[in-house]
Amino acid sequence: MTETQGGRATELAALSLQLLQRQDYRGACEALTSLCAELPVDSPVRYALTQTLGTLAFHLSGGSVPPPQLIGRLASLASQVVSPVRTQPLKPRSASKAAKRFGPIGAAIAFLAKFKTASLLLLTKGKFILLGLTNIKALLSILAFLGVYWAFYGWWFAVGFVASIFIHEMGHYVTVRRLGFAASAPIFIPGLGAYVRWRGVPAHPGILGRISLAGPLWGFFAAIGCYFVFAATGQGVWLALAHVGAWINLFNLIPVSIFDGGSAFFAVGRQERIAILIVSLALFFFLSEFVFLFIALGAGYRILRKDFPAQGDQFVAYYFIALLLTLGLFDWWITSTASSTFSVVSHAASAGRGIAW
């Protein structure tokens, strides 16, 4: 970066700090976008700015107030340009023997061992949250699942994905326990998913329907949580996790035997199944998401099978339709958010190549 470019970048960074302090976020967004064009392509500040500016642009386009964490992050990045601080490079820590020997799974074990005091505290005070970690079989299955996805998609995606599935399974677990029956900790199967075993639950269609749909409901809450993390940090991996979480829980509503939707359909009568079929086709038409077509086909198949009860459980039917609508619309909104966010980020990153706003 030449001396002239450095002076221009410093002026833009100082201007953006003033605009952020005055809460002129649109002006700050423009100044920071221009700042990106002045910084070297390989600058870590430029890279971080392009990511964080996408989140700011999303809030501005939706008319929402950017969270304080996001503004603080932008101010911190601009301050690094105004007053660069030289830091000593961090010395890489030597990996533990377990991490070297077993890769991602070993590193996860080493992490738990290193923070054993905190882990013990959580185990005694947070049994509900850490239920899977109190059972050695469940713990090993979680670590194996985490290791597989860490190897393919990276640390943060693996952690978020495991947490989302764990929360989904806890929806089944909590519902079973609330109804007064016994249930086991979630067991993970790497590459496939997870399951919860329960004992003593009567084969009543309404009860089975409520237990089955509790998983997608809690999974929906997990997807919302991932989005809030994205909104606060600007890290795109959390937006991806919100989308994946919503889509997987929607896919799990396909009414065939291996999915939650299949068990729930035993409580749904003929008229309710027709209603679900119509809603699924309407959502497929308006949202262009093929999973709704699969749900509609499954509903049509279950109508032809005539395995519905003599009297359908309307609560389960409304529950099912509500999940279709909320998960479907949330997934569509997340996809639209990702499209607009990354288009803004792409523009900010290419601003230095003469592309106009």
Q: What is the DSSP string of 169-232?
A: HHHHHHHHHHTT-EEPPPEEETTTEEE--EES----HHHHHHHHHHHHHHHHHHHHHHHHHHHH
Alpha-carbon gap, residue 233 to 66, rounded angstroms: 11
Among 87, 55, 72, residue whose Cα is nearest residue 20: 72
Q: Could you report the per-residue pLDDT of 291-300, keeping only the tens digit for each?
A: 999 999 999 9
* pLDDT the model gives residue 252: 93
Contact criterion met (CB below 8 Å) for 53 and 37? no
Local structure of residue 89 (DSSP, 8 states): P
With H, G, I as helix, E, B as strand and everything else as coil, classify residue 92: coil
Q: Where are the alpha helices (DSSP H) in 202-313?
A: 205-233, 236-251, 260-264, 270-287, 290-305
Can you tell me the distance from the alpha carbon of 250 to that of 53, in angstroms, rounded to the nearest whole number?
A: 31
Q: 280 to each of 223, 265, 325, 337, how far by Cα in Å?
A: 21, 14, 9, 23
Q: How far apart are CA 277 and CA 252, in angstroms?
A: 16
C-alpha dist (Å) from residue 357 to 58, 254, 342: 15, 43, 14
pLDDT at residue 337 in the model? 74
pTM, rounded to two decimals: 0.60
**Among 238, 199, 241, 246, which Cα is nearest to 221's?**
246
User: Which residue, among 193, 185, 188, 318, has the nearest Cα to 258 in the 3D structure?
Assistant: 193
Residue 188's pLDDT is what?
A: 75
pLDDT at residue 126, rounded to an integer: 45
Give the residue ranges of the chain where pLDDT is below 70: 1-6, 41-42, 47, 51, 54, 58-59, 61-64, 84-135, 137-138, 142, 145, 191, 200-203, 339-357
What is the distance between the alpha carbons of residues 166 and 164, in angstroms, rounded to a whole number? 5
Q: What is the pLDDT of residue 295?
A: 96
Indicate the domain borders of the chain: 3-85, 103-338
